[in-house]
Structure 1
Amino acid sequence: MTEVNAIERSPSMLKNYIEITKPRLSIVVVFSSIAGYFLAANTYEWQTLVLLCIGGYFLVGSSNVFNQIIEKDLDALMKRTQNRPLPTGRVSVKNAWIYGVIMALSGIYMLFLINFATAFFGALSILLYAAVYTPLKTRTPLCVFVGAFPGAIPYMLGWVAASGNFGIEPGTLFMLQFFWQFPHFWAIGWMLEDDYKAGGFKMLPTGAADKGTAVQIILYTIWTVMVSLVPVFGVTGDLYMTPYSAVIVGLLGGWFLYYAIKLYKERSNAIAKKLMLVSVSYITLIQIIYVVDKFIR
């Protein structure tokens, strides 16, 4: 029996396999899909919700598994990731591949049971994340642009699961989450700049936590806020928001933009961390407000 196999048969084996799916991140992503579903559906089917939740988790989890397999040696170089199951050998690469493939195929099948379009976009997100975004992280800062595509799919995926088609409504949800990812991930890249450099990752648009990166964070934050307000103008089909909710969304956008500007002025890791936390709160609250607005109007 090899040392790795002995480790994988330890009582913590289940915890290791859950850990490599990045459960907190995966749950957040599934939450956005659920929000998209409730925005679109006129009648709610618990079977569809269960398939969307489990299938969505499997897809996101498998993407994270593939990401960690590819980056195993680089993760070992960074303090933030060096104790993950793959770099430490608590899970072998071979078993991680098997695990990831089973999760991916199971997730795609579950989404296919909802409708073909949902399965298609789900499979596309895995392909873009694992096969395109992940290899680009050590090559070019454009990786964030590429990664924003699979990262924006889950929010619109819920709408597609409910409606069976892609139109202006899920397209708007896609755009909102697409633009949001730039300030979010650049804030992470800013505060973890040294760690990412140790692993050879090129995450910041200028290659450094500098004034140029801060300017781009502000610009993408503005675009995010602008897209979040588009539904109030009645130009996005069945996706509509009342003026009352738009005021709240606008205030949240101002909160988000405040920290983006503050980062430009102070250019510190402490503010970058606050911006990252604000960005997570912002997108979560926007999703909740959109859904609540639908039910109260």
Structure 2
Amino acid sequence: MEFANYRKQPLFWNGIFMAGLTIAILPLLFLDTRTLLGTQIWIKPLKFTLSVGLYSFTTAWVMFIFLNDWKYSYRTQMILTITSFIEIVFITLQAARGEASHFNISTLWNQIVFSVMGTSISIFWLFHLWVGYQIFRKKAIPHSVKESLVWGLGIAGFAMIIAFFMTSPRPEQLESMKQGIFQTSGSHNFGTGDPGKEIFFFGWSTKLGDMRVPHFFGMHVMQIFVFLSAYLMKKVDSVQNQITTRFTGILFLLITVFMVIQTLNGESVFHLNPLYTSLYGLFVILILFCFFKLIAQPEKISKQVIV
């Protein structure tokens, strides 16, 4: 897609904004020595700008290539852009204030921020699913390409909704609220005890369950499937490719589901549990086999145009 076409996509400019904000935040990692809950205060905004920027660029490509004739394409991109923009603005603003953006209900302002962020991301999720549905019902897309896109968008949608496990207040938090003490509501951690060492930059626990891991993994599996769909456009569309892509999607979904189960059981995905570690290893081997099968397929003799 030429740059002239990119300029017409709101999500493309959202990605550009996120890239610019990422560059602006980077020096603050070294200039601002403040920490929050033991983590450098600007790491969280940086993680979110990178994540939203990657989502924006890949979704802009998907919608231009496959949904350019959809009458709601521009408006849907605008809603995805505005809702994600609201999320990033509040996360960055709270970081500048030295306050947590998520789960923070310690003041009226923090409660408003947390509520608005939850509302905006819920709207974002609904329109993300709508994009996936439009891809699913589009008949002109080659079967294997559509299979890849639907699985990528679907798993990302599942990964977004599991974030609500984190926002549910814990029993001890509910007790505090009954006593008129408002500090936090929800947490990304599950389980009790020693959290162990954190994963560098991401801050994920190596012992306790951390729902951010399957949330992040599932959301960015989408990019793998978008790249795969671009690759499959060059291949002969066949039933074998479609079935192999579907099997790949099932495997990635199973990994995400088992990550959620392990996390809810209070155990980190990075903890070497024989059962879960064996399952993840098996799934990865099967995924690599599927990728090999797809790569080995012949390319198309003539290019097809997706309308």
Considering the TM-score relative to the shorter chain, is it more than 0.5? no
Higher helix share: 1
Q: TM-score, normalised by structure 1?
A: 0.36
